[in-house]
């Protein structure tokens, strides 16, 4: 990946509807080579997908809850089971295995506290969890799918990546 690829990624992260010719213009290239670069970024899996991002409020999902999970069962088997369950719940949009105090962290989106409670009951009905602690978000102040590209490692180029 070189600095032109990085520019392409920056543009497409912001707006995936840009025509190849527009992207090409903005990075100072003609369409074919630009198109080939985009193809390669997709083949290489740097670009994973192109998606429509919806407004949560407009689809009745005003409430975000962070669910911290602590377990006794530190087995691969239990983790596998939890992953399976979590993947079955579309309300869970993010799921992390954590270091430290908390074992797992979920981000859950639902329309209301009542809906969260219903979700919670369905969750614990499917898997035994030692300790669950739910924190409600009052407001989503920033949410972006754009990753900072300042740390990208460029091939055969002079500029070193930040840290």
Binding site for DNA (CB under 7 A): 4, 18-21, 29-37
Q: Is 161 in the site for its own copies (CB under 8 A)?
A: yes
- Do residues 92 and 151 touch, judged by C-beta distance below 8 A? no
Cβ nearer to DNA, comparing 100 with 158: 158
Residue for token pair 């409600």: 136
Q: Which residue in 56, 81, 120, 127 binds its own copies (CB under 8 A)?
A: 56
* Contacts to its own copies from residues 108-127, by CB under 8 A: 109-112, 114-115, 118
**Residue 151 CB-density burial (10 A; 0-12 exposed, 13-18 middle, 19+ buried):** exposed
- Euclidean distance between CA atoms 41 and 50, whole angstroms: 12
- Do residues 110 and 89 touch, judged by C-beta distance below 8 A? no
Distance of closest approach, residue 81 Cβ to its own copies, in angstroms: 12
Q: Is 155 in the site for its own copies (CB under 8 A)?
A: no
User: By CB under 8 A, which span of 25-33, 48-56, 70-78, 122-130 interacts with its own copies?
Assistant: 48-56
Contacts of 67 (CB under 8 A, 6+ apart): 105, 106, 107, 108, 132, 133, 134, 135
32 binds, among DNA, its own copies, none (CB under 5 to 8 A by kind): DNA
Q: Which residue in 142, 156, 159, 160 binds its own copies (CB under 8 A)?
A: 142
* Contacts to its own copies from residues 19-38, by CB under 8 A: none
Distance of closest approach, residue 9 Cβ to DNA, in angstroms: 15
Q: Which residue in 19, 28, 43, 150 binds its own copies (CB under 8 A)?
A: 150
Q: Count Cα neighbours of 114 within 13 Å in the Cβ-side half-sphere.
A: 0
Cβ nearer to DNA, comparing 38 with 108: 38
- Euclidean distance between CA atoms 101 and 62, whole angstroms: 28
* DSSP 8-state class, residue 64: E
């Amino acid at each position: 990946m070189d600095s032109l690829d990085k520019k392409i990624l920056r543009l497409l992260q912001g707006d995936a509807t840009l025509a190849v010719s527009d992207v090409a213009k903005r990075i100072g290239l003609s369409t074919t080579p630009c198109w080939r670069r985009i193809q390669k970024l997709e083949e290489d899996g740097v670009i994973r997908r192109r998606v429509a991002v919806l407004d949560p409020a407009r689809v009745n999902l005003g409430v975000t809850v962070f669910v911290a999970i602590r377990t006794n069962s530190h087995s691969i088997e239990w983790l596998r089971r939890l992953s399976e369950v979590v993947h079955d719940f579309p309300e869970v949009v993010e799921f992390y295995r954590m270091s430290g105090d908390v074992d797992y962290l979920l981000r859950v989106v639902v329309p209301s506290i009542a809906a969260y409670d219903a979700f919670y009951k369905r969750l614990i009905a499917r898997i035994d969890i030692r300790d669950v602690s739910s924190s409600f978000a009052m407001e989503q102040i920033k949410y972006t799918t754009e990753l900072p590209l300042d740390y990208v490692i460029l091939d055969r180029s002079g500029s070193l990546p930040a840290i």
